[in-house]
């Protein structure tokens, strides 16, 4: 059996004897998991990932989705991802950075996606979340809404919903709310 205390002591001595080199920051289990998740990421062609704080901060990044079909085609929708300390036991915190007329995204950018809430499991990863977000744009769900007005319109009058989505994607007001231009 390996004596972990001796291993830690040797690592500490090696760091002290390294001279002027700064000590290596130990990564948390969540940082290691995120690093693996990102290295294994297989983004669809309509998605890109950006690291606004640089590649050293993997716990905060953005995913931009540009749907090529459906109600939201040609739009550009950026989402922020904040990875919690207890990831993968806790789901990532995901928010849409623009106001969009969508049944499953409210005007504050909160996203209604089951795998970000009650259906999250540690076996899921960032790739699953990205594909879930893509699915929200190809198949918006009026049955589990955050924006009830949009959900009702989608359910009751899909043609009118399509018109409202196209109009709001250019930016402007709808039902007293200003929506960001994403085209």
Q: Is 96 a catalytic residue?
A: no
Out of 94, 112, 150, 169, the active site residue is 112
What is the rounded distance in angstroms from the CA atom of residue 27 to the CA atom of residue 130?
24
Give which of 119, 115, 113, 165 is closest to 144, Cα–Cα.
Answer: 113
Q: How far apart are CA 151 and CA 158, in angstroms?
A: 10
- Tell the residue number behind the tokens 């297989």, with chain if given: 42
* SS3 call for 38: helix
Helices (H), the chain: 4-17, 29-39, 126-138, 148-156, 158-169
Active site residues: 112
């Amino acid at each position: 059996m390996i004596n972990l205390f001796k291993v830690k002591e040797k690592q500490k001595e090696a760091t002290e004897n390294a001279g002027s080199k700064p000590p290596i920051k130990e990564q948390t289990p969540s940082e290691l998991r995120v690093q693996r998740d990102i290295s294994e990421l297989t983004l669809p062609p309509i998605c890109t990932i950006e690291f606004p704080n640089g590649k050293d901060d993997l716990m905060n990044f953005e995913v931009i989705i540009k749907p090529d079909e459906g109600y939201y085609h040609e739009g550009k929708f950026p989402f922020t991802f904040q990875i919690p300390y207890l990831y993968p036991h806790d789901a990532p915190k995901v928010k849409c950075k623009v106001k969009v007329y969508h049944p499953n995204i409210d005007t504050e950018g909160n996203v209604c996606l089951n795998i970000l809430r009650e259906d999250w499991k540690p076996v899921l990863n960032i790739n699953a979340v990205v594909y879930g977000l893509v699915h929200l744009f190809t198949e918006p769900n009026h049955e589990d809404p955050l924006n009830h007005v949009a959900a009702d319109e989608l359910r009751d009058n899909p043609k009118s919903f399509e018109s409202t989505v196209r109009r709001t994607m250019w930016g402007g007001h709808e039902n007293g709310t200003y929506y960001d231009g994403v085209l």
